[in-house]
Amino acid sequence: MKRTGLIFEKSVKGRKAFSLPAPFAEAKNPADYIPAGFLRSSFEFPEISELDIVRHYTNLASKNFSVDGNFYPLGSCTMKYNPKINEQICAYEGFRDVHPLFPCEKVQGYMSLLKKMERLLCSITGMDEFCLHPSAGAHGELLGLMLIRAFHDKNGDGRKKIIVPDSSHGTNPSSAAMAGYRIISIKSDAGGQIDLKELKNALDGEVAALMMTNPNTLGLFEDKILEIAGMVHEKGALLYYDGANLNPLLGLCRPGDMGFDVVHLNLHKTFATPHGGGGPGSGPVGVKKRLEPFLPVPVIRKKGDNLKFDFDCPDSIGMIKAFWGNTGVILKAFAYITALGDEGLKKTGEISVLNANYLRKKLGEHYNIPFNRACMHEFVISVKDLASKGIHAIDIAKALIDRGIHPPTVYFPMIVEESIMVEPTETESKSTLDCFIDEMVQIHKEAGKNPGSLKNAPVNMGVRRLDELRAAKFPDVKWDFKTQNLE
């Protein structure tokens, strides 16, 4: 693989790709309308032909692993197959070319689809109402915590703390902090689950909510969930569900029935919308009835024959984004749920669990799995025992890259040392799982016999291991158009 070169290095004065209509005959110039002081003084930008741009990105694309090209068992991320049909649907003119401020009566297709989607998500989670606005999981968390704050505020109850387990995802404490809360982190018990004693100690009248995910980030079902819910509610606190891990629960059980008051879902995980190299996602939030008044505006309500956007909600926390959500993403998730129905959803949950356990069983014969019991959609290996050979989780990861497999999540959750978090998802065939097992077993052997080869990986990718420390120490985060040079 050759160096592609920055797109700016391909720029040559006078070249162009763009094509725009010619101004009409009578047209004047911007300078005729805009005072000179407002006009741009100088401007440097790429000058490249259309074909050269196409080649540039074709080349870049070839340097990327993806679900379509590679097994991608990235734990906590649910990298399942993204059905092609959903991409086609999203491109329909009646979805794609619709302005968000068209009068409601002209967009009843969208309005009713969004309303139906709210109801579907309520059914799937056991919640009473849903808000589709948040753009991602973390955005949903932030909204959820704002709702919790509004709820307690309305009750004149100025609670200041949020409890999170030490196994929680980084966005949980970070979202809680953004919502103005102090974070209380509690240790997990020996089984990797929430330690009820720790929880009890932490639960005081200052606690606004406990945030958790179930199954937790170890892939374990929190089987004392009903007890936990009881404890939390008894103290007047609320229970928040991080729904990034809903996939295995599809058709099996519902957070609403477990006692959760607020739920966010990651449509880009459980509901198969593509991750886009980092986004866009969609993180709808579901609530129990008593939190409904605080939901962001607008809400969709029937008025006369039509569904309308209603901004008139006195207790609403306001808006959390312009317009009403990542509609294009919601659309794909809607199509996915419609295609699967009850039966398909249940099977999806089941097979995500079967696939994970199959891998756990087979890999457990070679690797150390700290909490090695029936897991849900994922499980966590620890390669702490390979440290004596100088091998760390990162080395296993890089060795997998050379073998054409995207590495699992490493160094998360933080409660397992040298962790490797594997989430195969239900869309992977047994053949792929077996191939992954083979490679992992080979790598394990290699770690014993020839650890140097792993430390040396990757060697097949065009770049070797990249120096992240250097990147942080000497930040080079943009091309300088003036000097025509890297910063």
Partner 1 sequence: MDYIPHGREDIRQMLEALEISSVDDLYPDIPGKIRAGGYGIAGGISEQEVRGTLEKFAGMNASVRTLKSYAGGGAYEHFIPAIIDDICSKPEFYTAYTPYQPEASQGILQSIYEYQSMICELTGTDVSNASLYDGATAAAEAALISVNKYDGGVVAVSSAVNPMYRRVIETYLRSSPCRVEIVEHTEGVTDISRIGKHLSGKLVSFIFQSPNFFGCIEDVKSLSDCIHDKGALSIAVANPLSLGVLEAPGRNGADIVVGEGQPLGIPLCFGGPYLGFIGVKKELMRKLPGRIIGRTLDKDGKEGFVMTLQAREQHIRREKATSNICSNQALMALRAAVYMAYMGKEGMKKVGALNICNSHYLAEQIEKTGKAALKFRKPFFNEFVVEFKKDTAEVLRLFEKEKILPGIQVGEAGRNSLLCCVTETKTKGDMDKYADVVSKL
257 to each of 124, 261, 295, 310, how far by Cα in Å? Answer: 11, 10, 21, 29
Touching a second copy, residues 392-431 (CB under 8 A)? 404, 427-431
Taking the least distance from each CB to partner 1, the nearer of 386 and 408 is: 408
End-to-end CA distance of the chain: 25
With binding defined as CB under 8 A, does residue 272 bind partner 1? yes
Amino acid, single-letter form, for residue 9: E
Please name the residue that has the structure tokens 């198969």.
272
Minimum distance between the CB of residue 314 and partner 1, rounded to whole angstroms? 14
With binding defined as CB under 8 A, does residue 18 bind partner 1? yes
With binding defined as CB under 8 A, does residue 59 bind a second copy? yes
> 350 is written with which tokens?
């089941």
**Interacting partner of 27 out of partner 1, ligand PLP, a second copy, none (Cβ under 5 to 8 A depending on kind):** partner 1
With binding defined as CB under 8 A, does residue 49 bind a second copy? yes
Residue of 131, 147, 179, 265 that binds partner 1 (CB under 8 A):
179
CB-facing half-sphere around the CA of 67: CA atoms within 13 A: 22
Minimum distance between the CB of residue 429 and a second copy, rounded to whole angstroms? 5
Other Cβ atoms closer than 10 A to 197: 11
Touching partner 1, residues 214-243 (CB under 8 A)? 221, 223, 225-226
With binding defined as CB under 6 A, does residue 169 bind ligand PLP? yes
Taking the least distance from each CB to a second copy, the nearer of 201 and 442 is: 442
Cis (ω within 30 of 0) for the bond into 255? no
Residues 362/126, Cβ–Cβ less than 8 Å = no
Residues 207/238, Cβ–Cβ less than 8 Å = no
With binding defined as CB under 8 A, does residue 34 bind partner 1? yes
Residues 400/392, Cβ–Cβ less than 8 Å = no
With binding defined as CB under 6 A, does residue 215 bind ligand PLP? no
Touching partner 1, residues 65-84 (CB under 8 A)? 65-70, 72, 74, 77, 79-84
Touching a second copy, residues 306-365 (CB under 8 A)? 339
Q: Give residues with Cβ within 8 angstroms of 461, minimum separation 6.
A: 1, 63, 401, 402
d(CA 21, CA 76): 47
With binding defined as CB under 8 A, does residue 442 bind a second copy? no
Residues 137/283, Cβ–Cβ less than 8 Å = yes
Minimum distance between the CB of residue 153 and a second copy, rounded to whole angstroms? 47
Binding site for a second copy (CB under 8 A): 2, 10, 12, 15, 19, 49-52, 54-55, 58-59, 62, 66-70, 81, 83-84, 339, 404, 427-432
